[in-house]
Amino acid sequence: MSSQPRTAIVTGASQGIGAGVVKAFVARGFNVVANSRKATQSTEVAASSQVALVDGDIGEPATAARIVETALSRFHSIDVLVNNAGIFFTKPFTAYTSEDFKSLVSTNLGGFLYVTQLAIKQMLAQQTGGSIVTITAALARNPIRGVPAAVPMITKGGLETVTQHLAMEYAKDGIRVNAVAPGAVDTPLNRGTPKNVLESLSPMGRLSTVKDITDAVMYLTDAATVTGDIVYVDGGAHFGHW
């Protein structure tokens, strides 16, 4: 007698890390609800019997509600949430505008808050535990001279903190809350930056791949007694100077 497939929600799922995570879950037999602003136009992720696509800005509460409603109507449970949606751009601290700040807060923090609240409510109702993994950034722990990212790191650092608080709050409910903190990754987001510049941001002198990040997400999804952890996939950048 086979058990019901688990259901994962993945935000920021149309390309790069998000698309890689969707494909990894499908390969493991999960049903997946994949969200991005234009998920239905993705060239990397397609709708199927296992994959439901939900278009919309994850920074809007209504989008989070549609994602959760889709998960329950199509697949009848929410077992895993991967908060991958995020925006990142660099400029001198004094050059960030109020609109820049609002955009970062909306996507990186609002995009985490609304869908995570709804997912946890459903996991509590199911009484079968669950896993939440959020993609943060190694830069939140270890600033790099020449990468002026102070304002985006307000949001990414906040995600590290809330990860640990939620892990403690819901530990006895079996809901595990962890994060993956990438360094420089070979994704479409970085196509405009020369490869040698990106490689210089890692003590190992190499970029992480989408698979490297996806493997970390899969590990945390399965690691039954790991919670409140930040897994750094950054070639060692978070703990040293080079």
Q: What is the pLDDT of residues 211-240, one digit of tens each?
A: 999 999 999 999 999 999 999 999 888 887
Q: What is the pLDDT of residue 43?
A: 95
Q: Residue range 129-151: average pLDDT? A: 94
Question: Is residue 101 a part of any domain in this protein?
Answer: yes
Give residue 221's identity as a one-letter amino acid code. T
Q: What is the pLDDT of residue 193?
A: 77
pLDDT band at residue 185 under the 50/70/90 scheme: confident
| Mean of pLDDT over the chain | 94
Q: What is the pLDDT of residue 236?
A: 86
Question: Is residue 207 a part of any domain in this protein?
Answer: yes
pLDDT band at residue 207 under the 50/70/90 scheme: confident
**High-pLDDT (> 90) share of the chain, %:** 83
Q: How far apart are CA 204 and CA 217, in angstroms?
A: 21
Q: How far apart are CA 85 and CA 138, in angstroms?
A: 16
Angular region, 33: left φ>0, alpha ψ -120 to 50, beta rest = beta
Q: Residue range 26-32: average pLDDT? A: 98
Question: Is residue 1 a part of any domain in this protein?
Answer: no
CATH number at residue 79: 3.40.50.720
Please state the φ and ψ torsions of residue 227, each to the nearest 5 degrees.
-150, 150
Query: 42 vs 6, 36, 59, 87, 240, CA distance in Å?
Result: 23, 9, 19, 18, 38
* Burial tier of 200 (Cβ tally within 10 Å: 0-12, 13-18, 19+): middle
Residue 196 has pLDDT above 90, yes or no: no
Instruction: Report the domain count for the chain.
Output: 1
| pTM for the structure as a whole | 0.94
Question: Is residue 122 a part of any domain in this protein?
Answer: yes
Question: Is residue 78 a part of any domain in this protein?
Answer: yes
pLDDT band at residue 186 under the 50/70/90 scheme: confident
Residue 22 has pLDDT above 60, yes or no: yes
Tell me the pLDDT tens digit for each residue of 117-138: 999 999 999 999 999 999 999 9
Q: Residue range 31-59: average pLDDT? A: 97
Quote the domain boundaries for residue 45: 7-232
Q: What is the pLDDT of residue 201?
A: 81
Question: Is residue 187 a part of any domain in this protein?
Answer: yes
Q: What is the pLDDT of residue 1?
A: 38
Question: Is residue 181 a part of any domain in this protein?
Answer: yes
Question: Is residue 76 a part of any domain in this protein?
Answer: yes
Least confident of 79-83, 151-155, 164-168, 196-200: 196-200
